[in-house]
Amino acid sequence: MSIRVAVAGASGYAGGELLRLLAQHPAVELAALTASESSVGRPLAAVHPHLASLAGRTLAATTPETLAEADLVFLALPHGASGALAGQLPATVKVVDLGADHRLVTEADWAAAYGGPWAGAWTYGLPELPGARAAIAAASRVAAPGCFPTAVALALVPLVAAGLLDPADLVVAAPSGTSGAGRAAKLNLLGAEVMGDVTAYKVGSHQHRPEMVQTLRAHTDAPVGLTFTPMLAPMPRGILAVCTGRLADAGAAPAAATAALREALSAAYAEEPLVQVLPEGLWPHTSSTVGSAGAHLQVTADDSSGRAIVVAAIDNMGKGAAAQAVQCANLMLGLPELTALSADGVAP
């Protein structure tokens, strides 16, 4: 018997990517596809014309009663909208939340980053973190990480945990594709505004920073200090997180430091099919991860500053959202983890 899954927020970008992956998933049956009130009753083909195999489906209203008919529900809703809805679903229904509502473990961090009622923390859904896979498999409620925090955690956690970086001195700059801002019409996302332009935004105040710090704190006993600058790039998909940190052994020769950094990353991901540490001399490209569930990493020691430079590339709609949510769902349902997922991207 197929496992029935529902998608709330099916009209958005993350919802559409979920549907693309689930449409080819051999173990699941798509139950309700729900959307906001303005889209209820619309044919899915009018919203996601690329999903030809689902062209006959219609968007339904997002209600607890509709979603409760599924075995597992994906919540691809705006931040702040998942908590109340999830609280009305039966405990027998497994839930993966792609929003931020259940990621932060303290009410103070939630209030500072998002505001409004705090819904409490769920199991954090980044399987490649130490100990995370077993926790996700045992959970009935999982919070899928944010896109920027996914890239940053994959890049920095192994190096911080190994004691190779000073966690008090971390700096991240990361351009992202426009799909990361959602599908709502916004002036700053118009083609005429974005084309030919890269700009920083929410400088010093982005809501994903507390999530990044929280994840890093879980893997070190030392204080964590992180400066994060996101940027909007003229591309639909992708994140390139350029992460730097002061080397714990600032006097190490660059070649030896680079070797130690590479060894730590390679050891952390040696058995992880979705995370690739690139061969020396090759650096991640966002274009190489488009359409994939994977991440590409590279690291070096700066020969003049005593700092490490780690670069991570992901598809913000893939490993940064929908693909990671499906990866978590597979674990929660006792299915092979990579069902319907691939580390291969699409080119050109």
* Residues belonging to the active site: 147
Q: What is the CA angle 95-240-104, rounded to 5?
A: 35
Residue 147 identity (one-letter amino acid): C
β partners of residue 276? 296
Q: Please provide the DSSP assignment of 143-192 as one string.
A: EPPPHHHHHHHHHHHHHHHTT-EEEEEEEEEEEE-GGGG-SS--GGGSHH
CA-CA distance, 32 to 59, in Å (whole number)?
Answer: 8
Kindly report the length of the chain: 348
Residue 309 identity (one-letter amino acid): I
DSSP type of residue 106: S
CA-CA distance, 18 to 26, in Å (whole number)?
Answer: 14
End-to-end CA distance of the chain: 38
Handedness of CA 116, 224, 141, 338 (dihedral sign): positive
